[in-house]
């Protein structure tokens, strides 16, 4: 695969704005969505603040050669949910999240040091496309339930509210139709843009 821009290259002014907007929309959506999905009083403001501080630290370490905004990752949703479900209280769950984040960061640092000294070819052998593809698919599939709940009105109980047991059918009100239209438009735009 040939990179369009190398580390030292810089896109033109209009392209920079377009790329920055694309990254802002992608990363901000994840950074806002992850605390909402995890729940347990997790603050979206704290996630945005952490992403901002993490980005500044990252930029300082890379000497601004890799202009990226770091945000939340959906890859950690399962472990974040497990930290809360296995804890005796929410505060202990947050402690588990902090320990998990520190360990993940430590592993990233170790991998970065190995890459610095050994190069990147070992990564391609260890994790070829046949491994990465299913991993990304599993992350997407784990989020499918939340997407369906959102399309049905933003919470899990709304699907029960629109089902009329006496008629044995779903009775769609304006809110449900609007949610479904927004969900379908989002799905179609995502499919078209990614293809």
Give the DSSP letter of residue 12: -
Least Cα distance to 162 among 176, 149, 151, 150 occurs for: 176
Q: Count of alpha carbons within 13 Å of 145, Cβ hemisphere only?
A: 7
Could you give the residue ranges of the DSSP H alpha helices within 62-162? Answer: 77-85, 90-118, 121-126, 129-151, 158-161
Report residue 167's pLDDT band, with 50, 70 and 90 as the boundaries: low
Query: Residue 61 in contact with residue 109, Cβ under 8 Å?
Result: no
At residue 110, the pLDDT reads: 92
pLDDT computed for residue 173 by the predictor: 64
**Closest by CA position to 149, among listed 28, 34, 30, 37:** 37
User: Is 58 a residue whose pLDDT tops 80?
Assistant: yes
Q: Which residues pair with 170 in a beta bridge?
A: 163
- Looking at the DSSP bridge assignments, the partners of residue 13 are none
- CB contact at 8 A, 149 and 156: yes
Q: Which is more confident, 188 or 9? A: 188
Query: How far is Cα 175 from Cα 159, in angstroms, rounded to an integer?
Result: 12
Q: Which residues pair with 164 in a beta bridge?
A: 169
pLDDT of residue 170: 61
Q: Tens of pLDDT along 59-112?
A: 888 887 777 778 877 777 777 777 777 777 778 888 888 888 888 889 988 988
Torsion angle in degrees (nearest 10) through CA of 144, 148, 151, 195 = 40
User: pTM value?
Assistant: 0.55
**Which pLDDT tens digit goes with each residue over 108-137?**
889 889 988 988 888 888 888 888 888 888
Domain ranges of the chain: 1-72
């Amino acid at each position: 695969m040939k990179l369009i821009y190398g580390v030292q290259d810089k896109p033109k002014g209009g392209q920079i704005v377009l790329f920055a907007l694309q990254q802002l929309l992608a990363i901000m959506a994840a950074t806002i969505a992850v605390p909402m999905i995890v729940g347990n009083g997790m603050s979206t403001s704290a996630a945005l603040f952490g992403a901002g501080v993490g980005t500044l630290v990252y930029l300082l370490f890379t000497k601004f050669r890799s202009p990226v905004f770091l945000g939340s990752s959906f890859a950690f949703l399962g472990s974040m949910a497990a930290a809360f479900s296995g804890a005796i209280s929410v505060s202990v769950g947050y402690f588990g999240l902090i320990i998990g984040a520190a360990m993940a960061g430590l592993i990233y640092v170790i991998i970065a040091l190995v890459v610095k000294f050994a190069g990147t070819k070992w990564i391609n052998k260890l994790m070829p496309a046949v491994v990465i593809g299913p991993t990304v698919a599993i992350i997407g599939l784990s989020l499918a339930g939340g997407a369906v709940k959102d399309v049905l009105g933003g919470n899990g109980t709304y699907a029960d509210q629109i089902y009329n047991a006496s008629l044995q059918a779903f009775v769609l009100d304006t809110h449900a139709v609007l949610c479904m239209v927004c969900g379908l438009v989002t799905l179609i735009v995502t499919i078209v843009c990614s293809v």
